[in-house]
Amino acid sequence: MASSGPVIDDLPKDHLHDRLRSMRQTLVWKLDGLSEYDVRRPLTATGTNLLGLVKHLATLEAWYFGEVFGRPFPQSLGRWQDADGSDLWVTPGETRAQVVDFYQRACAHADATIDELPVDAPGHVPWWSRPDVTLFTIVVHVLQETTRHAGHADILREQLDGRTGVAPEYEEPIDPAARESYWAMVERAAQEAARS
């Protein structure tokens, strides 16, 4: 018997959208209190940096919730075929405020797409091997990407000043002695495993 309605109702869409909003806030919070240098400097061998993660996710949201559903983002993004990695770092001429504003505008544009389209609205991702998608698929994909990069940001921030967590209200004070003791325990376990 054929179904007369969407396979998934709006309850899961709303739940995923709420999680996406939360992860977005976490990502931007990771910039708080850091210098211009620290938000931009490469902290991994591949150049990953905090402000670059925000810029990257702004571009990602603008493409996925814009072009994919025929709702282009108002700002020129360039063509996805020409992506060259420049969305992963911030030039000296771009300010932190500009990048965060771009992210907030991309998120607002994405929110409008999510709010206005049904969960089973069709989309087309030309850079995917299976390009025909639904809004639900894209919400899950962008949530996964945002969560992944928020995790990267958490680790990068910990490398800079030891701060961790998902929101200021859950942040615990840093106890250097407890951290040293825990680190030493993990290191001993790793060394013992390597010897056996």
In a domain, 4, yes or no: no
Number of domains in the chain: 1
User: Does residue 138 fall inside a structural domain?
Assistant: yes
Quick check: is 164 in a domain? yes
Query: Cα 50 vs. chain centroid, distance in angstroms?
Result: 11
- What pLDDT is recorded for position 98? 97
Answer whether 53's CB lies under 8 Å from 27's CB: yes
Residue 125 within a domain: yes
**Which residue range forms the structural domain that includes residue 131?**
10-195
Does 5 map to a domain?
no
- Kindly report the CATH number assigned to the domain that includes residue 115: 1.20.120.450
| Global pTM value | 0.90
**Within a domain: residue 3?**
no
Predicted pLDDT at 81: 54
In a domain, 25, yes or no: yes
Query: pLDDT in tens for each of the 196 residues of the chain?
Result: 444 555 567 788 999 999 999 999 999 999 999 999 999 999 999 999 999 999 999 999 999 999 999 999 998 876 665 667 788 999 999 999 999 999 999 999 999 999 999 999 999 999 899 999 999 999 999 999 999 999 999 999 999 999 998 888 888 889 999 999 999 999 999 999 999 9
Q: Is residue 173 part of a domain?
A: yes
